[in-house]
Chain A
Amino acid sequence: NAGVTQTPKFQVLKTGQSMTLQCAQDMNHNSMYWYRQDPGMGLRLIYYSASEGTTDKGEVPNGYNVSRLNKREFSLRLESAAPSQTSVYFCANRLAGVVDTQYFGPGTRLTVL
């Protein structure tokens, strides 16, 4: 039972390159989230998905797109990476109907040069 998994663990991009961060869960939870964490700023919500096939913007969605094709997987795409997107990205999930306790993946450390 892996919980929430993320790939890759580390990535270095050049400005303008694109990439997709993958997140998968085996907990059968409905809601999934993407956060970024920067020093001194805490976790900020990028996008979330309340259920399969639905997505909504969070606090900092600009420059990102997401896809929730099935209940297990929620991917985050950077179409044209910028240095300001250098951060640690966390995927999380939550069981619907329960107080908003979230379960996090191990994170992806992204550097954009």
Chain B
Amino acid sequence: SQKIEQNSEALNIQEGKTATLTCNYTNYSPAYLQWYRQDPGRGPVFLLLIRENEKEKRKERLKVTFDTTLKQSLFHITASQPADSATYLCATMDSSYKLIFGSGTRLLVRP
């Protein structure tokens, strides 16, 4: 069955640097991957979706890539700010067409 793996270790970076988070899937190449942001005590909020046939997607300071050879998606935040500190979840569809999530990577941006 499909699984989503994200680095459980927190990523700690300096304000202004680019944050790069990794999402790996274990099985077949999914039709798309999604990224969500979750703040403490709140529900996840959808950020970006990238389809299998798209190599890269951008939204303001966010960029997502999809590499089917590496079975991986990278999520970048350029010019990071302390307000970007949150947990970022990767998700995709499983074989029964339900969304499955990784456990998330916590990002901490130091001022």
- In the complex, the answer to whether B44 meets A41 with C-beta atoms within 8 Å is no
Residues of chain A contacted by B103 (CB below 8 angstroms): 40-42
| A48 interface residue (CB < 8 Å to B) | yes
Residues of chain B contacted by A105 (CB below 8 angstroms): 43
Q: What class of interface size applies to chain B in its complex with A? A: 20 to 34
- In the complex, the answer to whether A90 meets B98 with C-beta atoms within 8 Å is no
**Chain A: interface residue total (CB-CB under 8 A):** 20
Segment at the interface with B among A13-21, A67-75, A76-84, A95-103? A95-103
| A58 interface residue (CB < 8 Å to B) | yes
Residues of chain A contacted by B98 (CB below 8 angstroms): 45, 48, 58, 100
User: What separation, in Å, do the CA atoms of A42 and B3 have in the docked complex?
Assistant: 11
Residue in chain B with minimal CB distance to A9: B41
Residues of chain B contacted by A102 (CB below 8 angstroms): 44, 46, 99
| B74 interface residue (CB < 8 Å to A) | no
Determine which of B32, B43, B49, B89 lies in contact with A42 in the assembled complex, contact meaning CB atoms within 8 Å: B89
- In the complex, the answer to whether B41 meets A107 with C-beta atoms within 8 Å is yes
Q: Which 9 A-B pairs have the closest CB atoms?
A: A104-B43, A42-B103, A43-B101, A42-B101, A101-B46, A100-B99, A104-B44, A90-B43, A105-B43
Which residue numbers of A lie inside 8 Å of B, CB to CB? 4, 33, 40-43, 45, 48, 58, 90, 92, 99-107
19 A-B pairs in the complex with CB atoms less than 8 angstroms apart: A33-B99, A40-B103, A41-B103, A42-B102, A42-B103, A42-B104, A43-B44, A45-B98, A48-B98, A90-B44, A100-B34, A100-B93, A100-B98, A100-B99, A101-B49, A102-B46, A104-B45, A106-B41, A107-B41
